[in-house]
């Protein structure tokens, strides 16, 4: 979700859930991230490239045959993408690529590359 302050700067809220069914034999893990931050858009045509830096938190849960645990920690995501306007209210996102890191505990880091694509529906004024 993005709220545009002007044609260049927007504020982004990003909520994501990820699952890994093969984390342990007979177990699974999942991570939920909640990230917020600025997005910088380059609006020169109907193709809008952007860069963003988000920060917030993550919650990682591990459900195995031995125990169930949950850890909360700091998370960040840095990257960018391209939005292509189809109509005034609909756009296509062919690529959004980000480096995302989460620190669920003081001695562990989760570092990943995240790719996203989709269709955007725009509400409100431009």
Please write the tens of the pLDDT for every residue from 58-115: 887 766 544 556 678 899 999 999 999 999 899 999 999 999 988 766 667 778 899 9
Tally of CB atoms within 10 A around 22: 8
Give residue limits of the domains in the chain.
2-121
The b-or-e profile of 111-126 (16+ CB within 10 A means b, else e) is eeeeeeeeeeeeeeee
Residue that wins the pLDDT comparison between 73 and 23: 73
Confidence category of residue 31, pLDDT binned at 50, 70, 90: confident
Which are the contacts of 75, defined by CB distance < 8 A and separation ≥ 6?
Answer: 33, 34, 35, 55, 56, 57, 58, 100, 101, 102, 103
Would you call 88 helix, strand, or coil by DSSP? coil
**HSE toward the beta carbon, residue 93, CA cutoff 13 A:** 14
Please state, in angstroms and rounded to a whole number, the distance separating the CA atoms of residues 103 and 58: 8
- CATH (residue range 2-121): 2.40.160.20
Contact 125, 94 (CB under 8 A): no
Predicted pLDDT at 21? 60
Please state, in angstroms and rounded to a whole number, the distance separating the CA atoms of residues 2 and 56: 16
């Amino acid at each position: 979700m993005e709220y545009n302050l002007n044609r260049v700067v927007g504020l982004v809220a990003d909520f994501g859930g990820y699952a890994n069914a093969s984390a342990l034999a007979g177990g699974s893990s999942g991570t939920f991230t909640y990230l917020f931050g600025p997005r910088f858009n380059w609006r020169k045509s109907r193709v809008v490239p952007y860069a963003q830096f988000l920060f917030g938190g993550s919650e990682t849960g591990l459900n195995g045959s031995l125990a169930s645990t949950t850890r909360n920690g700091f998370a960040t995501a840095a990257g960018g993408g391209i939005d292509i306007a189809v109509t005034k209210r609909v756009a296509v996102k062919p690529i959004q690529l980000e480096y995302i890191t989460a620190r669920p505990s003081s001695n562990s880091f989760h570092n990943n590359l995240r790719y996203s694509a989709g269709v955007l529906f725009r509400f409100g004024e431009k």
